Amino acid sequence: MTEKYVKNKLLILAITLVLVSCSSPAASMPKGPDAEWDVVVIGDSTMWYLGEALASRIEEDVGVKVKLHLWIVGGLSAGEVLLALEIYEEGGLSKLLKDAEFVVIWANPQDSVIPEIPMGGDACFGYGGTVESCPPEAYEKFTADLKVIYARIFDLRDGQPTIVRGVDFYNPVVSQWIKQDKFEACTECWETLSNATRLAAEAYNIPFLSRYDAFNGPNHDEDPREKGLIMSDGKHPNELAGEFTAELLSKMGYEPVTPP
């Protein structure tokens, strides 16, 4: 057996291995009537009613059973989500995410503060006072914290196909801002917050749903209360809002995320 013959055989073997590797099917989402998806919805009270509506949508669209897990906490911040993942590394939220085929998350920036750069939007949340500037750099830690959360989700999933969706926060007080002559200033703050949330999702190739755009229109001047999407308390989403958001998520499809 000549040296040239051996080299040719080795080359053919190497090419064959590459072709086999390239043609091997990638892991896919479980499908079929016997398949079950664990769906985790993480958020504050603005995520009320979404979980149930989303579960129904998935079962109808995909034809799988859904096991719904709601991690809904009033005022939930990105910092609190990070803390939950840190304290209970093997249980709690970490365990839910490890098993989750579908995750949707919104968490606020309350604990993602850069002391030297105030976010400046307190007056927009009904606290009164003058609206201060909301510079994008004030939200950089918030974006960074969301990125850590997304990274942790993919780490916990360990290469398994996972659908992840990021969402932002609608504005229920448009009419109030207009009456108080602070619509323009507060809209700037809200848009800065929305963009900071979007940037974190885009960094991980995560499709992003702007509830701000959907509830408040392209110019962010539409009042969702007038559309029948807000409860009588004037702030929280009602059942119709949950169904509306679930429909929008459904239209985004069910393609697993491939992080960079």
Instruction: Give the domain CATH number at 161.
Output: 3.40.50.1110
Closest CA to 175 of 123, 234, 132, 238: 234
The answer to whether the CB of 106 falls within 8 A of the CB of 46 is yes
Predicted local confidence at residue 2, as pLDDT: 54
Q: How many domains does the chain have?
A: 1
pTM of the model: 0.87
Low-confidence ranges of the chain (pLDDT < 50): 1, 5-7, 9-26
Buried b (16+ CB within 10 A) or exposed e, 132-142: bebbeebbebb
In a domain, 3, yes or no: no
Dump pLDDT digits (tens) for 152-203.
999 999 999 999 999 999 999 999 999 989 999 999 999 999 999 999 999 9
Predicted local confidence at residue 244, as pLDDT: 98
In a domain, 21, yes or no: no
In a domain, 19, yes or no: no
For residue 88, the enclosing domain spans 34-251
In a domain, 14, yes or no: no
